[in-house]
Structures are given as C-alpha cells and as structure tokens.
C-alpha cells in the first residue's frame, strides 16, 4: 500500500523525527550504477522480492546469491548474474542465510525463507546451500504460527551460536523461533512474540550486537533486543518522513564495521532511493539511488542485502544486491552494486 506524500508527512509529524540532533541531509542523494544484474525471474508482475548473499571465503569471486521469486520459488545466481539452480515453491517471500550452522550431516550453509503458501498458516522453508554443487537442497518447512508469513531474517546468538528466525507477519506481529536443522526433521520452536501495529516486512538482525531492526512500512524503523529473554518493547528508530525515508519503508540491510559500527541501509521505496544511517546511534548519513547505467536503474525496491569484504575483481570492497521492481521489457530481477562505489559516493568512513 502506498501513501500520498501529504499523508506520509502527517504520519511522520505524529511519530516524531529520526534520532539525530542535526538536520536531515535530505538533499544529499547520490547516484551509483550497477556492475551486474541477475537473469530475470521466470514469472511476470510483482515476483522478484528478496536476496541473500553467501561469500566464499576462499574464492570470493565464486560467491553466490540466493533470491526469491514469490510466485515460483528460490533462485541461485553467481556474481555475473547467471542462473545456477532453482528450488520450486509457490509463495516464498523473504530469504536469509547463515554459514557454519549444524545441519544433518555436518556444518553447512542454512537458507531460510518465509513461506506464504497458506495465508492462514505460516511456515519457514529451510534449505542447505551446497556451494560445491551450486545447488539448493530442501530441509523441510516447519510450521511457524498462524497468519501470513511476510518478512523473515535470521539471527545467530553470539553466546552459543544458536540460530533464530524472526518471521514478520503481514499485520505487524513478529514471531521468533529457534531453528534446529541438525536432525532428520527440521524444527522451528517458538520462543516469543513481538508486536508492531501495521503492515511490516523488512527486517535484519545484527549478530554482533544482538539488535533486530524491523521496517513498519508507513511508520518507520523499529529496534528490538534480539534475545528472547530481553524486554520485548520496540525502540523507535528513523521515521517515515516523506523526505529522507519515503513510504513504503521496505528492505533493510546492514553493512557492519568493527564491533558495533557500520551502517543500516533501508529501501525508501516511495522515491526509488536508499537511506543510510550510522550504527549504532542511527544518525542519518545520506541517501543514494541506483541510477541508469549499463544494467539499468532500480525502482520500487523490495528486498536488499549488503555484505562488505572482498568479492573478487568486480566487487573488491563488498556487494549490494537490490530487487528491481521494473526491469522492462523483461521481468523483474536483481541488480548487483559495488559497496565500495556506495561508500565512496557517500564518503562513508
């Protein structure tokens, strides 16, 4: 659902300003261009949605991208955007992954996606990503409560490396599950419920700090303590203000640096841009757009993912993957942008 600019400003006025004492750098929107793009998804109209990145530590240029086609299933791409594998499923929405997770047969790469196949019964679709075979192997789809599973992100607890999934329901409820895929049957054990009041989707969890960030589409970004033993109350973050962050607030991604620094990036879907805040205080830093270039611009972006680090010659300083809502004349796809280009354009230090 899209708000009018006037209504967005009224909501922002009621909700308060982002947590910063300095004026918003609303005019500081820079342009970057994609260095590659994925093959278009196979289904038409609102289909491509959310990506996740696996970085190959030994051969960074051979890293992989997992992304959803919410009308068909889960795709696997290389860094040139070539299609490698497909796991069919009728309605997967958001996706995330963690490496080094205990799976049946040993440690591996766990991929999790929110499964909306039944609007009354949420599920978490689990897969093993085999980087050698470049294949996705289904591990099961445990039940994840009632309602329509919309957003999803994973969190790995630092103390014991246990993996949890946050499933964001379309009505703003957020259910947290402990994931166990080490046995013959994968399980998702509910541990608590968090709440926002209106439609929410994008989320990202910081494994370093134990902080969960969730985008309430027409309101703004909230923070929660990711540990289920902590206070479940939401902490207000940046608000939708029609200027720095324009409704819908959609995908969220982290570009971590050090123990608790780096940046939080959010898709400002209403004006085809991306907003950047500094961690840990969420002070606004600037905005950027993926502009027209060899691989085209992005518009109305849903899901995003960012990972700093070496990804080979094309992406030596890190990688951003962003869903493109209009890849005409082809169907939707995902654009690949060098994080180093973004950091340079915004003078991130």
What is the Cα–Cα distance from 131 to 79, expressed in whole angstroms?
A: 13
73-78 sheet: strands from edge to edge: 48-54, 64-69, 73-78, 83-88
Residue 3: predicted pLDDT: 40
Cα–Cα distance measured from residue 130 to residue 232, given in angstroms and rounded to the nearest whole number: 36
Single pTM value for the model: 0.92
pLDDT reading at 100 higher than 60: yes
| Residue 191 or residue 14, greater confidence | 191
> What is the reported pLDDT for 17?
39
Give the closest residue to 300 by CA, choosing from 250, 265, 264, 252.
Answer: 250
Over 70: is that where the pLDDT of 320 sits?
Answer: yes
Q: Quote the pLDDT of residue 24.
A: 41
- Alpha-carbon distance 82 to 270, whole Å? 29
**Alpha-carbon dihedral sign for residues 301, 305, 306, 309:** negative
Q: Phi, psi (5° rounding) for residue 140?
A: 135, 175
Residue whose entry in the numeric block shows the structure tokens 């299609």 = 83
**Which residues, including other chains, have CB under 8 Å from residue 343's CB and lie 6 or more apart?**
255, 317, 318
pLDDT digits (tens, 9 = 90+) for 283-317: 999 999 999 999 999 999 999 999 999 999 999 99
pLDDT in tens, 124-149: 999 999 999 999 999 999 999 999 99
Residue 329, phi-psi category: left (phi > 0), alpha (psi -120 to 50), beta (remainder): alpha
The strand pairing partners of 37, in sequence order, are 335
pLDDT in tens, 164-212: 999 999 899 999 999 999 999 999 999 999 999 999 999 999 999 999 9
Mean pLDDT value across residues 223-235? 97
CATH fold label, 5-17+26-346: Neuraminidase (2.120.10)
Distance between CA atoms of residues 212 and 303, nearest Å: 16
Residue 6 structure tokens: 């006037």
pLDDT-derived band at 1, boundaries 50, 70, 90: very low
Domain boundaries, the chain: 5-17+26-346
pLDDT per residue over 41-87, tens digit each?
A: 999 888 999 999 999 999 999 999 999 999 999 999 999 999 999 99
Contact of 60 with 309, CB cutoff 8 Å: yes
| CB atoms near residue 279 (< 10 Å) | 22
What are the beta bridge partners of residue 304?
A: 322
């Amino acid at each position: 659902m899209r708000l009018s600019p006037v209504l967005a400003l009224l909501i922002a006025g009621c909700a308060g300003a982002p947590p910063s004492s300095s004026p918003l750098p609303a005019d500081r929107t820079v342009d970057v261009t994609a260095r590659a793009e994925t093959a278009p998804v196979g289904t038409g109209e609102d289909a491509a949605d959310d990506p996740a990145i696996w970085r190959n530590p030994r051969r960074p240029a051979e890293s992989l991208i997992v992304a959803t086609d919410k009308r068909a299933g889960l795709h696997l791409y290389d860094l040139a955007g070539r299609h490698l594998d497909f796991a069919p499923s009728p309605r997967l929405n958001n996706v995330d992954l963690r490496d080094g997770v205990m799976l049946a047969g040993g440690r591996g790469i766990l991929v999790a996606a929110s499964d909306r196949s039944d609007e009354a019964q949420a599920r978490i679709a689990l897969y093993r990503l085999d980087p050698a075979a470049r294949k996705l192997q289904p591990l099961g789809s445990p039940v994840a409560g009632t309602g329509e599973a919309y957003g999803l992100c994973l969190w790995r607890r630092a103390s014991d490396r246990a993996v949890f999934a946050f499933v964001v329901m379309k009505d703003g409820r957020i259910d947290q599950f402990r994931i166990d895929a080490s046995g013959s049957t994968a399980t998702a054990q509910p541990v608590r419920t968090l709440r926002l009041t209106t439609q929410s989707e994008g989320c990202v969890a910081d494994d370093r700090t134990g902080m969960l960030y969730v985008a309430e589409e027409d309101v703004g970004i909230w923070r929660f303590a990711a540990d289920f033993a902590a206070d479940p109350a939401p902490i207000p973050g940046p608000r939708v203000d029609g200027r720095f962050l324009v409704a819908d607030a959609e995908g969220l991604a982290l570009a971590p640096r050090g123990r608790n620094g780096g940046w939080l990036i959010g898709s400002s879907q209403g004006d085809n841009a991306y907003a950047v805040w500094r961690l840990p205080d969420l002070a606004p830093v600037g905005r950027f757009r993926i502009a027209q270039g060899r691989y085209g611009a992005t518009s109305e972006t849903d899901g995003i993912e960012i990972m700093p680090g070496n990804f080979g010659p094309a992406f030596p300083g890190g990688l951003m993957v962003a869903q493109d809502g209009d890849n005409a004349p082809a169907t939707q796809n995902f654009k690949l942008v060098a994080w180093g280009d973004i950091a340079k354009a915004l003078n991130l230090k």
